[in-house]
């Protein structure tokens, strides 16, 4: 046991492992060897239940108020999300989602993306997809000052507001790395932080079949799937992923639909 504790202590002193531990636990945690902390992590299920209790609704009768929206207190929901776009392949993805009658959440990057493909951003909005912020240049936010974090977030907020008429209320920190300091800035900017439970690591493979297997193997109820529409193997995998999820009884939703009747709280970290 002593030897195991020593090994853990050695691993915790490595910055990359410290960050991974923070996200894996989903709890209030002091990062060993540093002063960063992460509080306020909520699971979608817990956020829904708390909102239903606060409103006095019965658990079985809770759910989004919008007519026709999925009720994830009853349905077996999973959120489909895409990071790092829009890019050249994105319109093809939008065609697929339209054909499958699925709405997704897009965490958009700024430099080379929102400033380059504004028509695609507008199409996302017009077709009912949820648009969120994934920073201007994908810098790791935990390594930046508060002013630098704001400089990464605000240009994307401005681009999306200018194109669609509404700024995002959700964001995803690059590499999933966040802290209480990052949360404080997001609270100020009115942005909730959305992590994930399913990753195909599609940035490292062009194998569509492998991407599909990875997604299906990890997906559970109330999960959040992370994909990247900019990579070659990903968009071709999407039709099969959606069809297979539906055969398994899943309802594919946006992040906000997954959280409803809760509303995303600025600064809060949501992670299944």
The C-alpha atoms of residue 139 and residue 105 are separated, in whole angstroms, by 21
Does the active-site annotation cover 65?
no
The C-alpha atoms of residue 248 and residue 216 are separated, in whole angstroms, by 10
Comparing CA positions, the residue from 272, 269, 256 lying closest to residue 128 is 256
Within 10 angstroms of residue 11's Cβ, the number of other Cβ atoms is 14
Residue with tokens 């306020």: 40
Does the active-site annotation cover 228?
yes
Comparing CA positions, the residue from 123, 115, 151, 119 lying closest to residue 135 is 151
Q: 106-145 b/e with 16+ CB inside 10 Å = b?
A: bbbbbeebbeebbebbebbbeeebbbbbbbbebebbbebe
Within 10 angstroms of residue 56's Cβ, the number of other Cβ atoms is 6
Catalytic residue chosen out of the listed positions 113, 129, 134, 228: 228
Residue with tokens 């997604």: 215
Catalytic residue chosen out of the listed positions 83, 159, 202, 222: 83
The C-alpha atoms of residue 202 and residue 217 are separated, in whole angstroms, by 14
Comparing CA positions, the residue from 174, 157, 175, 176 lying closest to residue 166 is 157
Q: How many residues does the chain have?
A: 272
Q: Annotated catalytic sites, by residue?
A: 83, 228
């Amino acid at each position: 046991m002593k030897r195991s504790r020593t090994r853990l202590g050695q691993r915790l002193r490595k910055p990359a492992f410290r960050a991974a531990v923070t996200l894996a636990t989903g709890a209030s945690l002091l990062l060993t060897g540093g002063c960063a902390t992460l509080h306020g992590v909520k699971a979608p299920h817990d956020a829904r239940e708390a909102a239903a209790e606060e409103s006095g609704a019965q658990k079985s009768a809770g759910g989004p108020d919008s007519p026709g929206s999925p009720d994830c207190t009853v349905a077996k929901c999973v959120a489909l999300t895409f990071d790092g776009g829009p890019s050249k392949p994105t319109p093809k993805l939008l065609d697929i989602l339209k054909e499958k009658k699925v709405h997704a959440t897009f965490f958009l990057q700024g430099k080379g993306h929102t400033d380059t493909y504004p028509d695609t951003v507008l199409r996302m909005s017009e077709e009912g997809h949820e648009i969120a912020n994934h920073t201007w240049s994908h810098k790791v936010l935990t390594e930046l000052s508060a002013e630098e974090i704001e400089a990464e977030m605000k240009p994307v907020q401005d681009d999306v507001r200018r194109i669609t008429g509404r700024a995002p209320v959700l964001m995803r920190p690059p590499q999933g790395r966040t802290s209480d300091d990052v949360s404080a800035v997001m609270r100020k900017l009115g942005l909730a932080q959305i992590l994930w439970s399913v990753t195909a690591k599609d940035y490292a493979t062009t194998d569509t079949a492998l991407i599909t297997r990875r997604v299906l193997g990890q997906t559970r109820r109330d999960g959040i799937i992370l994909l990247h529409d900019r990579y070659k193997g990903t968009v071709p995998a999407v039709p099969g992923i959606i069809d297979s999820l539906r055969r398994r009884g899943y309802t594919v939703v946006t992040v906000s639909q997954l959280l409803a009747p809760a509303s995303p709280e600025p600064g809060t970290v949501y992670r299944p």
